[in-house]
Amino acid sequence: NQSSASKTRDPRFKKLELADVEYFRSILPPGSVLSSPEFKGNSTEQDLLPYNTPVYTSEVGHAQVVLLPTCTLEFTVTLEPIVPQGGNTGTLAGSMTVYDEIAINMSKMNSIRSLDENAGVLVCDAGCILEELDKKLNDHGLCMPVDLGAKGSCHIGGNVSTNAGGIRLIKYGSLHGSVLGLEVVLPNGKILDNLSILRKDNTGYDIKQLFIGAEGTLGIITGVSILAAKKPKATHMVIFCMNSYEKVLLTFKKAKEHLSEILSAFEYCDATSMNITLDTQNKHNTFKKKHNYYVFIETGGSNQQHDQEKITDLFEDLQGSNTIEEGIFAQDSAQITKLWEIREFMILSHNKIGDTYTLDLSIPIDTADKAVQDLKKFLTESKYYDESLPVTNDKFHVKCVTGFGHIGDGNLHLNIVVDKYRHEFTELLEKFVFEYVKNLKGSISAEHGIGLLKPDFLHYSKSSEAIELMQTIKKAIDPKGIMNPYKVLP
Ligand code: FAD
């Protein structure tokens, strides 16, 4: 979490000058250029803070100029380095300016361009907030094929740029499948109109895929065409509690058998994650501290009674086979929201008790809990941690190590809460975990991307040939390196 300190300013970039900012003022509508007094604006440090504060890191951005375009045509050819920003909810400081790059925040580009209800195709501006899009689609019996805890503030452009996963990936698949087309402003100022609404189009290279997960390093996404899903007529939600991780795995196996096509989420968490969340959110004391593991299961189907029968069958099977200790069933949509809030507030709750590292890993599902235990052992042996102490202790640097995540997709969020981020500890931790993941042939970033914090670790998950090819693509599309510099590539 000290990464920006180690980046040297790219000598190819000229220093941002007042004349540049005045030029932006002359071409953009009033209110679209925020700047500090140094650039003849009246934005204070406080006003610029939302554009300079990435989540869950000690990093702070340095943007003194933020552009807020309102339509694609306002993008101009600029030789300045720029940083695209969505809702700034990304966890790897990908939307943060490192030196005097210009931040381009997409929040004013937030209109729906079209909706084809029959085909379920939505075309919208990249700055639309995910939750708002979902609500709009719900009115038409549709829903977004992606859902995550930051839905109230993240943008669809940010989701596409990070190839966000989230809790429903198990049902709807990755954005590489559901995004049908993109409109992108390229580093040379040209607008790539690839905003297809077609589901099938095998006319050569699928260009849009390059921008999905590129984290703003190849262009600014301004428009998104996406295949919406049918909103389920019946939704059920249950939390099952069990005493061993083997039983989490058995529950997953049985959930797939019983629920099959209606299974729309399968998440897990360990006891410490649950207890921290319940304590800091102050709710659901009924099943607090009684169990070792919890799974969150959601179904989305078309027949209330039929789906209910399937869940009841699953519950009876799990109870009859002594797989679970208890099940908490949501009785209505308000309770579904409340139960989901526990899972959605998990990262935030960890952050309330100390600085938190959330390592977002893809590893074989049967190794997830072992990874948590092995890390605890390593940190205990390294004299950073004592599991027997409460999470509120200030005797050791590490307060707790927890695991939760989208386990149905093999995605573990491995969390380490510390009293304060420290460089030497970060190094020790990352080396141990990333070596561990490499040995399992996993990925050091399942869904959060690489951002500013992880480029030096890309080699743990990508071969040198793959990294070389990524660099070739970057140079071909952005020869001057002005798109989100210092991010993703080593
Ligand atoms: P930002 O944070 O603003 O930007 C992220 C990256 O995308 C940056 O590199 C930025 O430069 C680039 N970018 C943004 N907009 C554009 C654009 N229009 N064109 C080009 N590049 C752009 N992530 C998951 O995958 N799954 C989860 O379940 C999940 N849960 C989360 C829960 C919480 C509470 C929080 C805080 C975060 C969570 N995240 C999750 C991480 C984050 O929300 C996602 O990565 C999200 O997709 C980022 O969207 P954003 O609009 O905030 O992007």
CB atoms within 10 A of CB 133: 26
Alpha carbon nearest to ligand 1 atom 27, residue: 166
CATH number at residue 397: 3.30.70.2740
Residue with token string 């720029």:
82
* Domain carrying residue 371: 354-448
Q: Is residue 122 part of a domain?
A: yes
Over 60: is that where the pLDDT of 3 sits?
no
Q: Looking at residues 33-45, what average pLDDT do you find?
A: 94
What is the total residue count of the chain? 490
Q: Is residue 80 part of a domain?
A: no
Give the tens place of pLDDT for each residue, 231-264.
Answer: 999 999 999 999 999 999 999 999 999 999 999 9
Angle at the Cα of 300 (from 291 to 310), degrees rounded to 5? Answer: 65
Q: Is residue 180 part of a domain?
A: yes
Over 70: is that where the pLDDT of 76 sits?
no
Higher pLDDT, 2 or 384: 384
Query: How far apart (Å, rounded) are the C-alpha atoms in residues 168 and 146?
Result: 6
The confidence band for 1, taking pLDDT boundaries of 50, 70 and 90, is very low
Asked if 155 and 128 touch (Cβ cutoff 8 Å), the reply is: yes
The full DSSP string for 447-490 is: SS--TTTSGGGGGGTS-HHHHHHHHHHHHHH-TT--BSTTSS--
Residues 419 and 339 in one domain: no
Q: Is residue 94 part of a domain?
A: no
Using the atom order of ligand 1, give the atom closest to the CA of residue 149: 32
As given in the structure block, the two tokens for residue 224 are 């998104």
Over 50: is that where the pLDDT of 422 sits?
yes
Please give the distance, rounded to the nearest whole angstrom, from the Cα atom of residue 215 to the centre of ligand 1.
9
Among 230, 264, 284, give the residue marking a domain's end. Answer: 230
Please give the distance, rounded to the nearest whole angstrom, from the Cα atom of residue 148 to the centre of ligand 1.
10
Among 30-44, 56-70, 164-178, the minimum mean pLDDT is found in: 56-70
Q: Which helix (H) or strand (E) holds 278?
A: helix 271-281
> What is the best residue among 51, 56, 85 to mutate for testing ligand 1's pocket, by most ligand atoms within 8 Å of CB?
85
> What is the best residue among 109, 148, 267 to mutate for testing ligand 1's pocket, by most ligand atoms within 8 Å of CB?
148
CATH number at residue 144: 3.30.465.10
Predicted pLDDT of residue 286: 60
Query: How far apart (Å, rounded) are the C-alpha atoms in residues 45 and 52?
Result: 9
Give the tens place of pLDDT for each residue, 108-157.
Answer: 999 999 999 999 999 999 999 999 999 999 999 999 999 999 999 999 99
Please give the distance, rounded to the nearest whole angstrom, from the Cα atom of residue 89 to the centre of ligand 1.
5
Query: How far apart (Å, rounded) are the C-alpha atoms in residues 414 and 269?
Result: 10
Q: Is residue 460 part of a domain?
A: no
**Residues in the ligand 1 pocket, defined by CB under 6 Å:** 55, 83-91, 94-95, 106, 126, 148-150, 154-155, 157-159, 161-162, 164-166, 215-216, 220-221, 347-348, 447-448, 451, 484, 487
Query: How far apart (Å, rounded) are the C-alpha atoms in residues 452 and 60?
Result: 12
Q: Is residue 401 part of a domain?
A: yes
Query: How far apart (Å, rounded) are the C-alpha atoms in residues 137 and 475?
Result: 38
Predicted pLDDT of residue 285: 60
Using the atom order of ligand 1, give the atom closest to the CA of residue 447: 25
Q: Is residue 58 part of a domain?
A: no
Among 158-162, 289-293, 464-468, the minimum mean pLDDT is found in: 289-293
Residues 262 and 169 in one domain: no
Among 175, 197, 230, give the residue marking a domain's end. Answer: 230
Q: Could you tell me the sign of the dihedral formed by the alpha carbons of 472, 478, 483, 486, in that order? A: positive
Q: Where are the alpha helices (DSSP H) in 382-439?
A: 423-439
Please give the distance, rounded to the nearest whole angstrom, from the Cα atom of residue 162 to the centre of ligand 1.
6
> What is the best residue among 95, 176, 182, 483 to mutate for testing ligand 1's pocket, by most ligand atoms within 8 Å of CB?
95
Over 70: is that where the pLDDT of 199 sits?
yes
CA-based diameter of the chain, in Å? Answer: 74
Using the atom order of ligand 1, give the atom closest to the CA of residue 216: 21
Strand arrangement, sheet containing 398-405 = 326-329, 234-242, 293-301, 263-270, 398-405, 411-418, 355-362
Strands 102-105 and 82-85: parallel
Average pLDDT score over the chain: 94
Query: How far apart (Å, rounded) are the C-alpha atoms in residues 412 and 364?
Result: 9
Residues 210 and 117 in one domain: yes
Query: How far apart (Å, rounded) are the C-alpha atoms in residues 262 and 241?
Result: 21
Residues 320 and 364 in one domain: no
Among 304, 319, 344, give the residue marking a domain's end. Answer: 344
Q: Which residues pair with 361 in a beta bridge?
A: 412
Asked if 191 and 252 touch (Cβ cutoff 8 Å), the reply is: no
Alpha carbon nearest to ligand 1 atom 1, residue: 88
Strand arrangement, sheet containing 82-85 = 33-35, 65-67, 102-105, 82-85
Whether this model's ipTM surpasses 0.90 comes out as yes
Q: Looking at residues 362-378, what average pLDDT do you find?
A: 97
Residues 317 and 264 in one domain: yes
The confidence band for 4, taking pLDDT boundaries of 50, 70 and 90, is low
CB atoms within 10 A of CB 261: 10
Q: Looking at residues 144-173, what average pLDDT do you find?
A: 96
Q: Is residue 195 part of a domain?
A: yes
CATH number at residue 325: 3.30.70.2190
Alpha carbon nearest to ligand 1 atom 35, residue: 150
Query: How far apart (Å, rounded) are the C-alpha atoms in residues 246 and 242?
Result: 9
Predicted pLDDT of residue 2: 43
Over 80: is that where the pLDDT of 288 sits?
no
Residues 339 and 318 in one domain: yes
CB atoms within 10 A of CB 466: 12
Over 50: is that where the pLDDT of 406 sits?
yes
Residues 116 and 222 in one domain: yes
Residues 166 and 122 in one domain: yes
Domain count, the chain: 3
Give the tens place of pLDDT for each residue, 82-105.
Answer: 999 999 999 999 999 999 999 999
pTM of the model: 0.93
Residues 372 and 398 in one domain: yes
Residues 116 and 221 in one domain: yes
Residues 160 and 181 in one domain: yes
Residues 209 and 239 in one domain: no
As given in the structure block, the two tokens for residue 467 are 């990294």
The confidence band for 57, taking pLDDT boundaries of 50, 70 and 90, is confident
